[in-house]
Structure 1
Amino acid sequence: MLSLARTSRATAAASAKAQAAKAVAYRTAYTAATTYGSSRRQRQQKPESETETKYRPQQRRISAKEAGLQQQQQQQTSAARYWPKLEIPREAKRFTFIDETSKRGPTKVAWTDRFLFVEDPATENGRRALKPATLRDSCACPRCRDTSSGQKTYSSVEIPVDIGLQNVKPTKKGLEITFLRDIPRFVEDESKPHVMLLPWDSVDMSLKRKGMEDVTLPRQRSVLRRTGVVYWDRETIAQQVRRIDYAEFMKDDSEAFWDVIIDICRFGLVYLKNVPRDEDSIVRITTRIANIRETFYGRTFDVRAKPNAENVAYTSGFLGLHQDLLYLDPPPMIQVLHCMDNSCAGGESLFSDGERVGRLLWPFLTRHRMSPLAEHHVPYQYGKNGFHYFSSRRVIDGNDSGFTNVFWSPPFQGRYLSPVKDIRRWIEPAQIFSSLINDRDAIHEQKMEPGECVLFDNLRVLHGRNAFDAAGGGARWLRGAYIAAEDFLSRAAHIPKGLAEKYRGERPWAPALAQKALRETAWHEDVVRRIKEIDPALED
């Protein structure tokens, strides 16, 4: 009887469970059907314009900002981890260094075998704990760095993980440091102890007395901080562009040479005059600055009309404003063009400050109507004579720090590999960009004469050419070459101190200051007016 009762209860429970499961299944199916029907009806009720593929305004940029905040938090965590404000142990050895010959304030120094503590008494939270392993890997003594090449004579992985500090001593140049448990081969000869010098500049960097902006590096922002930047239109550049004598430019240690470098940094444009009519002059001019960036066009190239031209530049027709070789990654930074002949009618060279326009538009790219300039990838492609290059770029590019580049080269655009994109929302903002760079007041026009050479920043200044009459007599012939960004900036980083700042003014250049200054110009008002034509809700 007991067994039968248990069996009956089990059967009843199973039946109830099955019915409950079935009820859940029915409810789920009904909910899904209702949701599907409702969403289907909603889609059917939406206007056709809302069902089309749309840009998501600033989705990429919002993601980039979120990633930037996340990265900033990680960096702060990293800084806290590598530069902890540890309490200095009682047993630590200490001294305070005061250099009365410099403006540097007092520096408190203490050390144990595990940490080197440096502190600026004039600031709160101004203590930094430096680690022996990192200090050891920063040694630049003749035993650690080859005196001729400047390269390391050891590998970082040779440093013992338990390396410590043995002694720290102040000198005029920095802190002299000896280590406990140093790299074994550096301590084999006890008669030649290994001593590292930590320069005071490095101490100042650790204490935030100096920042990266105070260090001269072959980076564009570092160079421009020293030289300054002038954004220009037709009137501005006509008043300030310089024509520097070729012979002076070619002299060793001449100020004229550095003036050319400075003007490329400041204006993105400079001329040489009195250049010999020699096919090798282009090589001498370019290599005076840096190595030539060779491309599939060769080490140098000739710009003149010819039949079956492999490049629209090698025709006699009008060539709109553009940047060269945007299908290469990266494109060359500096272009050098030496005029050999220009005796036919027409053929005036055209230049426009693309970065000026890019920075003027940058604050408005968070708006839906303008955002495609910073989101839509424009394809660039070259595929002829056995060469094939492809890259895609936004018209205006930037990162968490702000504006970085403009990329505009309509004659050299490629086709969309997959033509599913809807470019209609990109066209109107791109028309605004085009109208700004092609405005009559924005273009510097110059009929180059034989013996003239123009050097310009291909990543900033857009260039073009008016049509010329090749059949009506005369000729137009330019010789050209390129320089890569890293090679030019390597040279520009060596502009003599004082000379770089000569034309800049007292205040170092910074992107934020540049944006603020541009906002206070009549150019900004013109940009607002043009954007309002497609976005009437824009506030001034």
Structure 2
Amino acid sequence: MMSGLSRLVCFTRRVDHRVGFCAKGIFSLYTRQRGLRRYSSAVSSKNTLEATDPEIACNDNQISFKHTTFENVFLRDACSCSECVDPSTQQRRFSTGQIPLDIHPKSVTQTENEEYKITWTAKEADDHVSVYSQNRLEQLASSSWRYNSRWQFARDTVLWDAATLRGTLVSRLYDEYMNDDLAFKDVVLGLYSTGLAFLRNAPARVDSEVLVEKVARKIGYIKETFYGTSWDVVSLPDAKNIAYTSENLPLHMDLLYYESPPGVQLLHCITNRADGGESVYVDSFYAAYELLATDPVSFYSLTRFPVTFHYRNDGYHYAYTRPVIELDSFYKKPTPEHPPVRIKSINYSPPFQAPFEHFVTQDEGVERKLDFREFIRALNTFEKIIHEPSHQFETKFRPGDVALFMNRRVLHSRRGFKLTSLTESHDNDGNYGRWLKGTYLDIDSFYSKLRELSGL
């Protein structure tokens, strides 16, 4: 049975806001044309201006709409006129930093189209006219709308143990995925919802167009790594990665030694004559929320203690440090749709964990209040949850199967396996006894497609 935290929990990815910088001359041009400047600390005088609609008013130099009073810079920043946002590219023509801090509404009027025209003024800038519809003001006044405009689908996230996943897992035919828009949408939304989806009956062969790449590109662009655009998961002599052996591969996530690990992993089964080799999947978010419910001290220890992951082999040396549990630092206010604690991602990969680099001496632990022994206790508790058999979904690849899973949420592993002969492990002619082709997608590419399909 699932706990209360294991029903429907929504989570988000941190939106990465990047600011483009303009050359000095362009900045000056924007300042003259847009009625903007970099900074002003001047205090404006009070005034009271009202539009014909009683729902909007200008009191004490601020716009009030219904029950919301806007911050002037915020509302001015939301202007989408052709001077502020290019109609063709839909990209902004100004920087928020150019808006004077003393900007305030000079007048507010209602147009014949029931829109609101606000004239903005500031001491050291030209006046600027913005027009907002009622619907736009309602959206800007709603914190839930501002969140849902990017993450409407987040409420459909389902945390699962093995029993729950069997009733919610999306599995479609390969031909449906490639040729039926509704089936394709079903797979993408299902992949987001549970972090795992399957395609069946794909061609179990290798052509000039790599099938797993074709599946991935229907969602978005491929994330190329030092393994290439796609790679073979086969048992090899003198392997440079534990995945390329027949040994048991423990629960892990891929490429956590990258600054930006892949968001989605895809695996296509071409042949599988192995005895054993079952694939195991675990919802790490389910495990983390269970830990939060039963041992919050351990949960927060895993959000703070730095763990270094690395790959140092075959002429490559990658390394990156991150906590086991990463929280979303935005949208902290709890709502009925969103819990007060939202997990951004989990980072767990024992095969690629480096020696600890931080806070492993008593002096460091006291100074930063990060206790190494407390972290070890917390990690042990987390591992007991993910290794609980009832939390693990186990299946075996058949030729033509394609698995898609969220690499920063779903842990995956592979049981050890045996082949009928050594030749099948690494046949020079490609006649492998167990052969998967894999590729990756960036999470940004996946979320772009998800928003498009969700109508956002």
CA distance in 1, matches of 2:223, 2:114: 40
Are 2:92 and 1:152 aligned? yes
2:64 equivalent to 1:128: no
Query: In 2, distance between residues paired with 1:251 and 1:492?
Result: 18
> How far did 1:471 drift?
5.0
Residue 141 (str. 1) matches residue 81 (str. 2):
yes
> Aligned match of 1:255 in 182, 188, 194?
182
The 8 Å contact of residues 291 and 483 in structure 1, kept in 2 or not, is answered as: yes
Give the distance between the partners of 2:342 and 2:222, measured in 1 at CA: 28
Q: How many angstroms apart in 2 are the aligned matches of 1:377 and 1:337? A: 30
Whole-angstrom distance in 2 between the partners of 1:157 and 1:374: 33
Deviations 1:157-206 (A, max 9, x none): 6667667535522455732345568999x99xxxxxx8532132442245
| Change over 3 Å in CA distance of 1:306–1:471 after alignment to 2 | farther
Confirm or deny that 1:109 pairs with 2:56: yes
Cα distance, 1:267 vs structure 2: 0.8
- Larger RCO (CA under 8 A, 6+ residues apart): 2
Equivalenced residue count is: 380
Match of 1:245 in 2: 173
Equivalent residue, structure 1, for 2:396:
447
Any unmatched runs of 5+ in structure 1? 1-85, 97-106, 121-125, 188-193, 501-540
Partner of 2:144: 212
Mapping of residues 215-294 of structure 1, within 5 Å: 215-219=147-151, 222-225=152-155, 228-251=156-179, 254-276=181-203, 277=205, 278=207, 280-294=210-224
Q: Is residue 2:451 matched to residue 1:493?
A: yes
1:196 lines up with 2:135 in the alignment: no
**1:324 equivalent in alignment to 2:270:** no
Q: Report what 2:273 is aligned to.
A: 343
Q: Any stretches of 5+ residues in structure 2 without a counterpart?
A: 1-43, 333-339, 363-371, 425-431
Instruction: Please state how far the C-alpha of 1:274 moved relative to its aligned partner.
Output: 2.4
Seen in structure 2, the aligned counterparts of structure 1 residues 143 and 372 have a Cα distance that, compared at 3 Å, is closer
**Residues 234, 444 of structure 1: 8 Å contact kept:** yes
How far apart are residue 496 of structure 1 and its match?
A: 3.4
Displacement of 1:430 in angstroms is 2.5
Could you tell me how far apart the structure 1 residues matched to 2:434 and 2:112 are?
A: 64
Question: Displacement of 1:359 after TM fit?
Answer: 0.5
Q: Which has the higher strand share?
A: 2
**CA separation of 1:272/1:424 partners in 2, compared to 1, >3 Å: closer, same or farther?**
same
| Aligned-pair CA distance for 1:93 | 3.3
Cα deviation per residue 1:360-417 (whole Å; 9 max; x = unaligned)? 00134444x7764344333211112332222233333436652423322111111234
Q: Secondary structure at the match of 1:490?
A: helix
CA distance in 1: counterparts of 2:58 and 2:85, whole angstroms: 26
Partner SS state of residue 92, structure 1: strand
Identical-residue share of aligned pairs (%): 30
Contact 1:342 1:477 in 2 (8 A): yes
CA distance in structure 1 between the partners assigned to 2:234 and 2:388 by the alignment: 27
In the alignment, the residues of structure 1 paired with residue 294 and residue 245 of structure 2 have an alpha-carbon distance, to the nearest angstrom, of: 38
Q: Whose Rg is larger?
A: 1
* Equivalent AA in structure 2 for residue 413 of structure 1: Q
> Residues 80-119 of structure 1 correspond to what in structure 2 (within 5 A)?
89=47, 92-96=49-53, 108-111=55-58, 115=61, 117-119=63-65
| TM norm structure 2 | 0.73
Q: Distance in 1 between matches of 2:179 and 2:436?
A: 24
Per-residue deviation, 1:87: 12
Change (3 A) 1:165 1:360: same
Deviation at 1:248, TM superposition (A): 2.2
Residue number in structure 2 paired with 1:406: 346
1:282 and 1:337 in contact (8 A); partners too: yes
- Find out whether 1:484 has 2:442 as its counterpart: yes
8 Å CA contact 1:166–1:178 kept in 2: the answer is: yes
Greater per-residue helix proportion: 1
